[in-house]
């Protein structure tokens, strides 16, 4: 795959979701990453106000997570959390769907759960907010990945996303291929979890991903520069 630094950076959600990171460490990380040209900085919910300040005037958008990483919050709680994230300055919200409901084929519940978060985000935004639905593909069969992907987009989400990075495994090329087939050419696909080297990142993009979730964004860009 042929790609330049600017184009690769624009696909990356540079991520800081470790539970051990507080304000001081996060502030330094934000300063280092704010002007790298990433699609978003994706941070823990309590860091959203700080990140909103740090990214003021930047082309990089702000992303955070909802019902993370287990997805089993009540629908009302998910919707309230998502709305609050937007109120605090988030442009993009990555929600975890209800994994147990998918596994038991409670697809109406899954769709309603996702739709409630989408409605909450859109009601609070100025029209350009994005919802990504995390499937946690490591728990799902190929058929379940396909069905959940289709449900998420039909319920109003813009993206489907492979993994939280806290589940049984991260993204695979096969996951991305299944998701792309399910959602068609226009919906977004975010590959996340275990993307730490350039060859893996490019393989995910080749398979149909349009966004990469990683904590190794600068390393990926440096590896691309070194290859040139």
Calculated CA dihedral for residues 186, 166, 7, 59, nearest 10 degrees: 90
**How many whole angstroms separate alpha carbon 68 and alpha carbon 73?**
9
**How many whole angstroms separate alpha carbon 47 and alpha carbon 216?**
19
Which pLDDT value is given to residue 213?
Answer: 98
Please, which pLDDT band fits residue 68 given cuts at 50, 70 and 90? Answer: very high
Which pLDDT value is given to residue 126?
Answer: 82
Written in H, E and C, the secondary structure of the chain is CCCCHHHHHCCEEEEECCCCCCHHHHHHHHHHHCCCCCCEEEECHHHHHHHHHHCCCCCCEEEEEECCCCCCCCHHHHHHHHHHHHHCCCCEEEEECCHHHHHCCCHHHHHHHHHHHHHHHHHHCCCCCEEEEECCHHHCCHHHHHHHHHHHHHCCCCEEECCCCCCCCCCCHHHHHHHHHHHCCCCEEEEECCCCCHHHHHHHHHHCCCEEEECCHHHHHHHHHHHC
Judge whether residue 1 has pLDDT over 90: no
Map out the domains of the chain with their CATH numbers.
5-227 (3.20.20.70)
Query: Does the CA dihedral 28-30-35-37 come out positive or negative?
Result: positive
Residue recorded with tokens 């109406």? 108
Catalogue the active-site residues: 94, 161, 190
The answer to whether residues 78 and 66 touch, using CB atoms and an 8 Å cutoff, is yes
pTM for the complete prediction? Answer: 0.97
Judge whether residue 228 has pLDDT over 90: no
Query: Does the CA dihedral 27-220-224-134 come out positive or negative?
Result: negative
Query: For 111-160, how does the pLDDT look when each residue is reduced to its tens digit (9 = 90+)?
Result: 999 999 999 999 999 889 999 999 999 999 999 999 999 999 999 999 99
Query: For 2-55, how does the pLDDT look when each residue is reduced to its tens digit (9 = 90+)?
Result: 899 999 999 999 999 999 999 999 999 999 999 999 999 999 999 999 999 999
Query: For 87-114, how does the pLDDT look when each residue is reduced to its tens digit (9 = 90+)?
Result: 999 999 999 999 999 999 999 999 999 9
With CA atoms as reference, report the closest residue to 152 among 202, 104, 101. 101
């Amino acid at each position: 795959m042929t790609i330049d630094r600017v184009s690769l950076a624009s696909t990356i959600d540079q991520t800081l979701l470790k539970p051990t990171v507080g304000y001081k460490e996060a502030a330094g990380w934000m300063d280092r990453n704010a002007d790298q040209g990433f699609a978003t900085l994706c941070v823990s919910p309590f860091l959203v106000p700080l990140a909103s300040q740090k990214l003021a005037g930047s082309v990089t958008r702000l992303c955070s997570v909802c019902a993370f990483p287990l997805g089993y919050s009540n629908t009302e709680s998910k919707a309230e959390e998502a709305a609050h994230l937007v109120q605090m300055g988030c442009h993009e919200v990555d929600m975890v769907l209800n994994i147990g409901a998918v596994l038991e084929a409670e697809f109406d519940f899954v769709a309603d759960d996702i739709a409630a978060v989408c409605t909450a985000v859109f009601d609070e935004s100025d029209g350009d907010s994005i919802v990504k639905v995390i499937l946690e593909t490591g728990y799902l069969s190929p058929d379940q990945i396909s069905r959940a992907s289709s449900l998420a987009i039909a319920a109003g989400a813009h993206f489907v996303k492979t993994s939280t990075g806290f589940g049984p495994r991260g993204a695979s090329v096969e996951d991305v291929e299944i998701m792309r087939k399910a959602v068609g050419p226009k919906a977004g696909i975010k590959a996340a979890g275990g993307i730490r080297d350039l060859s893996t990142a490019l393989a995910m993009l080749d398979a149909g991903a349009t966004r990469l979730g990683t904590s190794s964004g600068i390393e990926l860009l440096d590896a691309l520069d070194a290859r040139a």
